[in-house]
Chains A and B, each alone.
Chain A
Amino acid sequence: MKVVTVLLYKGTTDNLNVICGHYGSGKTNIAVNLALSQKANCPGSVVNIADLDIVNPYFRTADAADILKRAGVNAMIPLFANSNVDIPVMPDAMQTMFDPDKKDQFSFIDVGGDDGAVALGMYAERIKNCGYGMIYVVSMYRPLTADPKEAAELLREIEEVSHLKCTGMINNSSVGAETTAEDVLAAVEWAHTCAECCSLPLLCHSYYQSLLPELPEIFSAAGYGDEILLPMINVTKQIF
């Protein structure tokens, strides 16, 4: 059984990582966790996270700004995020993410859901110039992408508007804070089918570590000892 951190989830980490997917699939949680994990494992490296979510002004990376700052991760959020002129104007510092020579720098771009990936298109040439990994986040519990064929359709749409190609998939099948071990287990086979349908390598299954400390054993007992698990903290904004 492998329970891994960002350094290991696919053997190596790209300097530039793009996180995209259907809205509500958990992109922000994944992006924040990958960035925090990278910084914890390589304290000497420069770790950046950019919030390119122009679609959802309610739940986004900008909400986790404090956690990221405390961990020493550079959060690049739209200059007017959470204000009444919330438009995708990114800070100048974002340009530093696209320097192909900075090999000790790791950047994570949290993209808006669905065609929110259109905002990514403007950076496509610079991203390609750097070399990149692009993770497609999927969840079996999100109705519009629960059918692997629909997940594949959305993937093509995202690739079309962003002018970039996804390189791997993370299965983040969760029903929020109420997620049980059974819910996570029930999505393993689905994730493999979905990855096949999308022609992407399935990198890992992510889950909330606070909710499921016993999950690795449950996976082994169910015969899924070879699956790779990515434990995450939940950074979703809590209202009540």
Chain B
Amino acid sequence: MAKKVLMKGNEAIAEAAISVGCIHFFGYPITPQTEVAEYLAKRLPKVGGLCLQAESEVAAINMTLGAAAAGTRVMTSSSSPGISLKSEGISYIAGSDLPCLIVNVQRGGPGLGGIQPSQADYYQATRGVGHGDLRLIVLAPSSVQEMASLTAQALDLADIYRMPAMLLADGALGQMMEPVDFSAFPKRDVPEKTWATVGHNNARPHNIVNSLYIDPQVLEDSVKARYQRYAEVEKNEVQYEEFMTDDADIVLVAFGITARICKSAVTAARAAGIKAGLLRPITLWPFPKDAISAAADHAKALMSVEMSMGQMVDDVRLAVNGKKPVYFYGRTGGMIPSVEEVTKEICSLANAL
């Protein structure tokens, strides 16, 4: 691949996955993520991989489970309603301690909703993506470059912690085009998959991949062991970016495409003499609660800006823990907040403080 390429976010996800050895894909088409599968359908046969359009999202996620159990790097991708369909399988994957990548290029909901971008699956991704005590590592890219680099990271993290990871993008990031550089992904050491069900030739006890535990004590033990790994993720893997927060009176908290809009709004507010800043969570789980708590020590107020009716704002409030007021501004249903309207919100908040 040429050093400099211009790609749609969806294509960048697909190419990044191939570049880190994820050459198995199972999915089902849905706007606005279809280019992920479309790109992989063209590329994977050329690199000895498999791109399979399943009969449904439910089939695709279970194929993903099977491929992960066999120890291969594997991914699936969909958009909001399709992720809901996959939720049972995602829980099975978490309960089976299997690594994989699940991509959600979000669109407006609930229900069939619309096809324009949204961030209203935050609760689903960080709280309720499947039944039972479980977590996903959730990464939120905010550029086409990050659609690529965080895809690569998510596959490493999934393998390291033996758990599913999700790339939580949105339709705008999926469809927009920016230059991407594939040469600069940091590589992590990934453990060997000694647990994979790849045949044993009677040389070792056979491996079992399973999420069914009839004995409640055994199930509790397995969940607790998994939560020790989750604690490691929370300790080691938090990522966020700060923009002009050092002396900020008003700290915006935003992720994904909304963070790009907020960056422009912060710059505009600064030009108008308002000390604004932006804290952008890159990992939504684990959530950067310590960084937000630290920001609340010096800021006068925080404002969560989202393409939803207000979901991440709950996590911001938990992190701030009453130290400072936390406000919310959002658009939903596929509407994208403009730089002007976010700037206006910052200005009216500054006047009220």
Contacts and interface: CB of A to CB of B under 8 A. Distances in A.
Interface string A139-156: 111111010000000000
A93 interface: no
Interface residues of B, number: 32
Interface string A31-71: 00000000000000000000000001111000000000000
Nearest to A84: B114
B178 interface: yes
B171 interface: yes
B176 A141 contact: no
B179 A178 contact: yes
Contact of B179 (A23, A86, A176): A176
A84 B175 contact: no
Nearest to B35: A23
Contacts of B339: 240
A23 B175 CA distance: 11
Contacts, number: 70
A157 to B, nearest CB: 11
Indicate the size class of the contact surface on chain A. Answer: 20 to 34
Given A84-B114, A84-B115, A239-B257, A143 B7 contact: yes
A140 B43 CA distance: 17
29 contacts: A23-B35, A57-B31, A57-B115, A58-B175, A59-B177, A84-B115, A140-B2, A141-B5, A141-B179, A142-B5, A142-B7, A143-B1, A143-B2, A144-B42, A144-B43, A146-B1, A175-B5, A175-B6, A176-B6, A176-B177, A176-B178, A176-B179, A178-B178, A239-B172, A239-B257, A239-B336, A240-B263, A240-B264, A240-B339
Interface of A: 23-24, 56-59, 84, 86, 139-144, 146, 174-176, 178, 183, 239-240
Interface of B: 1-2, 4-8, 11, 15, 31-32, 35, 39, 42-43, 114-116, 171-172, 175-179, 257, 260-261, 263-264, 336, 339
Given A57-B32, A59-B177, A239-B260, 12 more contacts: A58-B32, A58-B116, A139-B6, A141-B6, A142-B7, A143-B2, A144-B11, A175-B6, A176-B179, A239-B176, A240-B257, A240-B264
